[in-house]
Structure 1
Amino acid sequence: MDSSHQSNYKLSKTEKKFLRKQIKARHTLLRHEGIETVSYATQSLVVANGGLGNGVSRNQLLLVLEKCGLVDALLMPPNKPYSFARYKTTEESKRAYVTLNGKEVVDDLGQKIILYLNFVEKAQWKELRPQALPPGLMVVEEIISSSEEKMLLESVDWTEDTDNQNSQKSLKHRRVKHFGYEFHYENNNVNKDKPLPGGLPDICDSFLEKWLREAEKNSEVGIH
């Protein structure tokens, strides 16, 4: 619902609630991220709640956005609860603004998320691009295959461990399993004096051998 239409008719309670949340999303983006929205239609939109930080995947968001037109570019900054979408034409972005504002999507964990869209004059493509890697650092893409990834996921025991509750947590948009040390999200650190019992799943041994062989070819390899 465009706020410029308020003077034409009386808003319902649902529309008023949505409008408040859309305005709140707009103010939050400006206050915390410095992203300014505009009241007129442009080709670019910022999609609040439609980000990787909310557990929304790129493919999932594209499926929603492409129902309104050709998406010329989609930028999803890491760990952020928003994304930028640029349509081929302003008409398509206007259609997305009207159609998708307040749309409910389901994230990877089955939780419902409501999208709030606002126009932006320029999506921050350059500012939000990943920075260049430090000299000598190399990223090895697809170091494990899809089948190996499936084996790794299947090796994780997601049953509740009553003896060691710190190793497994349910966050807002994802589940996590800790190995080695518990990660403290409040300060982004670990307590090295309190290692978790057990170790990595046995299946990791073969992957570690593979990665170590890769490290021998290069001066250093980092695995996350």
Structure 2
Amino acid sequence: MTSSNWVVTSVSAARPSLVLALVSALFLTSCGLFADVWQWNQKLTVEVLVDGKVVSGSAVSHIWWQEANAFDVYPSGYKGEATVVDLGQRGKLFALIGEETTYIAQYTLDDKLGYSRGDYEGLLPAIMRFRGAKDVPRDRYPVLVTFTDTSNPKTIRKVDPHNLSATFGPGISLVRVVLEITDEKTAFGKVEPILPWLSWPRERFLAAGGGITPLKIPGESIGRTNFVRKGS
């Protein structure tokens, strides 16, 4: 075999391996295995004025964002539990978690940190480095709910953050919602003892709603993971 034929044969033999390597690299990139990840813990505190006295509740959620994948999508996730405020004889107020949990820091801290909300690769790392607290804008409050009977998911009621008295009676109002980026760890155990149906088997839970979720409130799609989410 001449040297030129040997070179051509070697290149031809290498092509499948090269193609496989390129395909593998593209696949890994699209899966985000080489992507930067920005993550932080955020504490949400809800303060309520009840008959002249401020009562509050707080919960810490873990948030993560990943830089854009091959489809120009920024994957994200969260885990934690709803914030619960004990209003005594008035009942309990829950500030739910959900997809908006991953965005609340951007809407709360963008001006303070000097980045636009659309600048993900500037704002998200800045949030991860930041430590401190700021009031959440009123138009970005989490969904608020209560139950007339916490043992029955069908008794869920949506609460107007601007008019708590309509649900809980006179002398009660929402003072503020505060977001803090913190080193505190996520913790579970406040919500599940209050809402026993969170641990019901799926069949029993759906049966309580006549075959569909019993958690029905106007304008919202609510599930059990809006109260407790242990995996992101």
Category of TM-score, reference length = shorter chain: under 0.3
Larger Rg: 2
Q: Kindly indicate whether structure 1 or structure 2 has the higher relative contact order, using CA contacts under 8 Å at least 6 residues apart.
A: 2
The TM-score normalised by the length of structure 1 is: 0.24
The TM-score normalised by the length of structure 2 is: 0.24
